[in-house]
Amino acid sequence: MENEIYWLWLQGAYGYAKPVKKLISSFGDAKGVYNASASELRDVRILPKVIDMLKNEDIEKYYDTFDFCRQHKIHIITPDSEFYPKRLLEIENFPLALYVRGDYRCMNAENALGVIGSRTPSKYGEEATQTIVSQLCRNDVLIVSGGALGIDSIAHRTAVECGGKTVLVMGCGHGTGYLPENSALRKSVAEHGALITEYPPYFNVTPGTFPQRNRIISGMTGGVVIAEAAKFSGTFSTARHAIKQGRELFVLPGDIKSGNYEGSNQLITEGAKPVFSAKDILPWAKINTNIVLKTGNPFPDIDLEASSYKKRGRKKSSDTEKTQEIIIKEDENIQKNKKIKPETISKNAEIVYNIMSDGKCDSDSIIRESGLEVRKVLSALTELEMNGIILKLSADTYRLNQ
């Protein structure tokens, strides 16, 4: 516990996505930075404003964060942990702490590959992503993405369906409730891989958190597949991170008349490897068939209102034990009631459910009849499928799970 507290302190004092190699190499680890005097910090040319931030940050409040994470089964993985993704340590601005729900062991998989793309993909982009990701998963490749709508969600969902491992890197803290339509997907990823973030619980989204998040997606992988990207999209920024970090960049070529592929096609002209199937990627992956990754533990998103985290006082050990006992019972209840009733799902999912009440239905018919945007229908179908309410029969056909 002691070392983790120092890393949390350094992260809180110094900030996120900042160059840290000089600071760590000068003093060995976060505890070394904490114990360094102001003069020692000046001797290695740490800026005066940074020294002030370090010396004025109270370490005591990070015990609350540690206690909360322990109670809610959020693993804190720091750079000195054997489970910290070793590739991340190669980048200049590696995260000082990762908050992980699920199987933290899988983050260090040798064959980790990022798969990202448009939030509003074409049908071609969707199908190509499903095909490539399914082929990669069957060859023991860990799929890493950002959990956004569109290509990211398709990559995670396909990995889960194929029995593979997947890591979802968030741009906010656990428990913020961001993108509620993907809540079911996040729960499923926690069962088949890991949800990770460098931000502490309840850290809200800001304009900078997602660009910062993108460096982790590329940084913890050996390469990134761009399934579909406009020129000035978040996907394009992740590609730039990958290039800067020296990662392999694979790009699915697309329609030269489509804005959704303007960024993708430009990256190919700049030297990215065009990819048409997993066969174009697997030689790079150097598959190790002896890799065995254990399954993580499922648990729901944190309930913001029900949590006691807003009351920031330190707890006595007896209180902590009681809280842990309650959470264990809650997890048992979740397992007993895993299938969610239609009354408890989102409004869009309820609309889709009602359309499907007669049984089998295809996505095009649902889109026409519901009047919802395509992305909202796809999100609703994902939610219903992840909750066990419907079954996917083919690429675009579903039926109620009765």
Indicate the residue among 285, 306, 331 that finishes a domain.
285
Both 263 and 154 in a single domain?
Answer: yes
Indicate the residue among 269, 285, 301 that finishes a domain.
285
Both 233 and 356 in a single domain?
Answer: no
User: Mind listing the pLDDT tens digit for each residue in 108-131?
Assistant: 998 999 999 998 899 999 999 999
Kind and range of the H or E run holding 365 = helix 363-370
Tokens standing for residue 15: 């900030």
Both 118 and 245 in a single domain?
Answer: yes
The pLDDT of residue 364:
77
Both 109 and 184 in a single domain?
Answer: yes
Q: 145 - beta bridge partners?
A: 168
Rounded to whole angstroms, how far apart are CA atoms 222 and 9? 30
Instruction: Say if CB 251 and CB 268 are below 8 A apart.
Output: yes
Residue 329 has pLDDT above 50, yes or no: no
Residue 29 lies in a domain: no
Among 46-50, 58-62, 186-190, 347-351, the minimum mean pLDDT is found in: 347-351
- pLDDT-based confidence at 198, cuts 50/70/90? very high
CATH number of domain containing 242: 3.40.50.450
Put simply, whether the predicted model's pTM sits higher than 0.75 gets the answer no
Instruction: Say if CB 176 and CB 205 are below 8 A apart.
Output: yes
Residue 128 lies in a domain: yes
Q: Which span out of 14-28, 150-164, 382-396 was modeled with the highest average pLDDT?
A: 150-164
Residue 243 lies in a domain: yes
Residue 264 lies in a domain: yes
Domain extent for 347: 342-400
Residues 51-70: what's their mean pLDDT? 93
Extended beta strands in 67-110, E state: 75-77, 98-102
Both 365 and 244 in a single domain?
Answer: no
Both 249 and 137 in a single domain?
Answer: yes
Angle formed at CA 349 by CA 346 and CA 352, multiple of 5 degrees:
155
The amino acid at 17: A
Residue 341 has pLDDT above 80, yes or no: no
The pLDDT of residue 337:
36
Among 216-220, 300-304, 385-389, the minimum mean pLDDT is found in: 300-304
Rounded to whole angstroms, how far apart are CA atoms 147 and 180? 11
Both 258 and 187 in a single domain?
Answer: yes
Report the C-alpha dihedral over residues 237, 238, 244, 247, rounded to 10 degrees: -150
Count structural domains, the chain: 2
Indicate the residue among 266, 285, 304 that finishes a domain.
285
Both 266 and 347 in a single domain?
Answer: no
Among 165-174, 198-207, 388-397, the minimum mean pLDDT is found in: 388-397
Both 255 and 155 in a single domain?
Answer: yes
Residue 352 lies in a domain: yes
Residue 376 lies in a domain: yes
Report the C-alpha dihedral over residues 142, 145, 148, 149, rounded to 10 degrees: -50
Both 260 and 364 in a single domain?
Answer: no
Both 361 and 280 in a single domain?
Answer: no
Both 274 and 382 in a single domain?
Answer: no
The pLDDT of residue 357:
61
CATH number of domain containing 382: 1.10.10.10
